[in-house]
Amino acid sequence: MEVKLNPRRGRTEYQTIGPKGYCGFLNTPPEVPRRFFTFLVPANLKDLKEIRRDIEVFRQENSSITATVVLWEDIFAISKQLSSDPLQWEFWQMLRKDFEPMRFTAEEARVAVSGVGLPISAFNKAAYVVDRVAEQCKGEFLFGKPQYEKTGKEYGVWFYRRNKGRHWGETFFFWFGILSPYWEKTGRALCFGITNDKLAEKAAFLESYSGETEEFCDGKPQSASDVFTLGWVSEGDLIEDDPSGQEPAARIWESLRPILDKVYQAG
């Protein structure tokens, strides 16, 4: 059984089904009546599609070995149903923090919009929101995967247009995520916006976004491309009860989507 909890964690060459990995290992021992191989992973694991494909190939080539993929979310749902047993209840409580729909506590939400310092729980949940927004927009907009830049100052999604012959930076039209210097200065964890050199995009952003904005630059700006015009995710966006049961990331994406449409068209 190969177990993954972190959705960003990839596989090593020994955690594959190739000759160096599980396929070779399972075929090495003397023949036994029953052999099983399982990936136990979260539903948003970055390699899940590839793992499912590999498992299908594995089944075709190794009919004597039972191979499957099991999601932690399914284990969580089963444990919730069987929680009358004290040990199962304890196990389910342990899984809640990872596999129940993500919610900010009132304190975490306060820290994420006006707090001092960087509590790890608030940061992890803010990073989760960035990951979920990136998943939501797949196939609709081109973007860079959520990641920290080399200086370690930002974890976010750079949205850009497809344009052959031009560097992606020239076609960038929006940004969403965690800008650490901005969080440290203002207490606002999640922000979004556009650099001031993108005049048409900035105008569309200001027209389509009804909330407050402000200009921000980390250090002395050399040009308009160093200055961002930013909006930010409010405390209400993070903890407001939703009758539909949506988690914060889904609500934030719903409000960002029409802004992205307008800004994308403006350039």
Per DSSP, what are the bridge partners of residue 187?
Answer: none
144-149-154-155 Cα dihedral, nearest 10 degrees: 50
3-state secondary structure of 247: coil
204 CB neighbour count, 10 Å cutoff: 23
Count the neighbouring beta carbons within 10 Å of the beta carbon of residue 235: 17
Return the pLDDT at 8.
74
Listed by start position, the domains of the chain span 2-75, 106-266
Q: Which residues pair with 36 in a beta bridge?
A: 66
Answer whether 0.85 is exceeded by the pTM: no
Q: Across the beta sheet with 35-41, what order do the strands follow?
A: 2-3, 35-41, 65-71
- CA torsion 11→13→15→18, rounded to 10°? 130
Q: Please give the pLDDT value at position 150.
A: 45
Written as tens digits, the pLDDT of the chain (267 aa) is 889 887 777 788 778 777 677 767 777 666 677 788 899 998 888 889 999 998 888 888 877 788 899 998 888 777 666 656 677 777 776 776 666 666 777 777 777 777 655 566 677 778 888 888 887 777 666 665 555 554 557 788 888 876 655 555 567 789 999 888 888 888 888 999 999 999 999 999 999 999 999 999 988 888 888 899 999 998 888 875 555 567 888 888 889 989 998 998 887
User: Comparing C-alpha atoms, which of 124, 132, 109 is closest to residue 250?
Assistant: 132
Specify the amino acid at residue 133: V
Q: Are 5 and 44 in contact (CB under 8 A)?
A: no
